[in-house]
Amino acid sequence: MPFASETLELSRELTVRTTSAMASVIEVLIEGNDAVADQALQLVDRVFGLYETACSRFVASSELNEFLKATDQTALSPVLGQVLRASFAAYVETGGRFDPRVRQALEALGYDRTFSQLLEPRNAPEPRPLLVPWENPLIDEHSLTFAAQSAALDFGGIAKGAALAAAAEALRLRGMNGLICAGGDVVVVAHNCSRPWPIAIEDPIPSAIEPIAAVEIEQGAVMTSSVRLRQWRAGTTPVHHLIDPRTGAPGGEGLSSVTVIGDDPVSAEVWSKTLFLGGFAGGFVEAEQRGLAAVFVSREGEVAVSSGAEPVVTWVRPS
């Protein structure tokens, strides 16, 4: 349940359109008639198509996969160049805890194709931490030239955050108001809009239908790192897709999900994953130290709301 839809229907007249991209269902909720909603969907489709073509690890011919074959410096498109630069900036900001080089670990666990096609390995591979620092791949910012990479890269979450930001800006420039949701990650499209938007946070238990919490924001994004959908077994070992580069294994001790509310979808995505890897106790302490607006859900269903999130969290399901 990505949206507090009943509340939205009561407070606003929204037209809904749905599509799919980047291994996610994309929902576009727009104030306006069918023609406005159709235009919004076309714009969102176009933006997500550009980011998927550039950044997907599941599309053999994607620009990312072609770039990873290169043995010499390469000039990249603005889309892939943007995501690559943002990824390295996040790597530096988080002290290496956000690292797209975990792709090899994901593939060793069987996640080398879209999740719906994943084949569980018979045995859990030996975890391999990323001990070699990631050197800045940017060579020339003006020409968007980057150094060849020795490790495979996975831009799934951060590329989706960048696509959400770009799609929201495209709609905002056309004077639209509404929301875009990509697999539960939500960005607000606000143009001269003063009323806050109620947004539900999914319960990370796979079978759950009702949300576990709700927030209200006037602008920005609500980004979640969760094991609700992408968890499986490697032999007898339960695993998931949120790999800690420090260990080479799935991280997030005691956690089912972390949601970060912030102005920028890319930054909120980076920190939702980074806080998740810190575990229930460590992640919460860091959110408090950094003043991040975050909502944590433990494996047992306990909800913890950081001080930064208290002003926007309007409801938490009673335990």
Question: pLDDT tens, 96-113?
Answer: 999 999 999 999 999 999
Query: Is the pLDDT reported for residue 296 higher than 90?
Result: yes
Whole-angstrom distance, CA of residue 30 vs CA of residue 191: 12
Question: pLDDT tens, 130-185?
Answer: 999 999 999 999 999 999 999 999 999 999 999 999 999 999 999 999 999 998 89
Question: Nearest to residue 169, comparing CAs of 184, 192, 188?
Answer: 188
Query: Is the pLDDT reported for residue 78 higher than 80?
Result: yes
DSSP string, 207-253: T--S-SEEEEESSSEEEEEESSSSEEEETTEEEES-EETTTTEE--T
Question: pLDDT tens, 245-270?
Answer: 999 999 999 999 999 999 999 999 99
Q: What percent of the chain has pLDDT over 90?
A: 88
Q: Which is more confidently placed, 188 or 193?
A: 188
Question: Nearest to residue 22, comparing CAs of 227, 185, 146?
Answer: 185
Query: Is the pLDDT reported for residue 17 higher than 80?
Result: yes
Average pLDDT, the chain: 93
Indicate the pLDDT class of residue 7, thresholds 50, 70 and 90.
Answer: very low
Indicate the pLDDT class of residue 229, thresholds 50, 70 and 90.
Answer: confident
Over residues 276-290, the mean pLDDT reads 97
**Could you tell me if 242 and 227 are in contact, meaning their C-beta atoms sit under 8 angstroms apart?**
yes
- The residue assigned the tokens 């606003």 is 12
